[in-house]
Each structure stands twice: as structure tokens, then as C-alpha cells.
Structure 1
Amino acid sequence: MARVCEICGKRPHTGHKISHSAKRAGRWWYPNLQRVRAKLPNGQVRRIRVCTRCLKAGKVQKAVR
């Protein structure tokens, strides 16, 4: 599935952008996802989309080429 972290499930959120005159328009906030070659728990190496918070926390073991 697009724009979803495969580790924590973080996904886009909606809200409003509010101008100086307080006029509202819809907008989206997207998670900072990176495509990473990761080693899965079963030993398989695969490209997955992971948010930077999971990468920084060490929840993903990167695969060595």
C-alpha cells in the first residue's frame, strides 16, 4: 500500500491549511517514507517503505549488499 510505513503503519493525515484571512482549504500531511533494503525476521531481503522515525529508532535492520 502506498504512503504507509510497513513497520509502524504511519499513514497520511488530513487537515486544513489556514490563510491569513482564516480561509480554510483541505490539505494532507504525509509521513517521511524512505525505500530501504531491509532484512526481514525470516532472513529474506526485501525493499520496504519505512518512516524515518522507525529507521532512527533502529526498528529496521538494513541489509548489506
Structure 2
Amino acid sequence: MAKCAICGKGVRVGMRVSHSHVRTKRTWTPNLQPVRTVINGKPVRMKVCTRCLKAGKVKRAL
């Protein structure tokens, strides 16, 4: 699965627990958005999580 290019946030794994307490594996995926950013003066496409976008850790290309 994909990871955030800024913070490295990726897929988390845990258990889904039913009412009868039957446990099965499940995953939580981060909210990644494809973004055009400026790196070394050039626009580059990367996948960034929404927390990094909201925090302003990414300079977007226009």
C-alpha cells in the first residue's frame, strides 16, 4: 500500500471485533491525496496525507 511522502504514514493493522467477540484482521488506510508539489524548483506528483496538507507541510504547485 501507499505511504505519505512527507510523514511516512502508512497502513495500520488491527482486529475487527464482532458482538460475539470473533476477531478478524482489518486495516486502516490513511487519507492520501495526489498532489502536485514544488521540490527543488520543479513540480512533482506525490501522495500526501490530508494531515500534512492541512498543516502546511507541502508547498503546492500552481
Calculate the TM-score normalised by the size of structure 1.
Answer: 0.91
Structure 1 segment 1-65 matched on structure 2, within 5 A: 2-40=1-39, 42-64=40-62
The one-letter code of the counterpart of 2:48 is V
SS of residue matched to 1:5: coil
Percent sequence identity is 53
Task: Provide the C-alpha distance between the structure 2 equivalents of 1:50 and 1:13, rounded to a whole number of angstroms.
Answer: 16
How many residues matched?
A: 62
Shift of 1:52: 0.2
Provide the C-alpha distance between the structure 1 equivalents of 2:42 and 2:21, rounded to a whole number of angstroms: 51
* TM-score for both structures, normalised by structure 2: 0.95
The alignment yields a C-alpha RMSD, in angstroms, of 0.7
Write the distance in 1 (CA, Å) between the matches of 2:11 and 2:18: 21
* Structure 2 alignment gaps of length 5 or more: none
Give the letter aligned to residue 6 of structure 1.
Answer: A
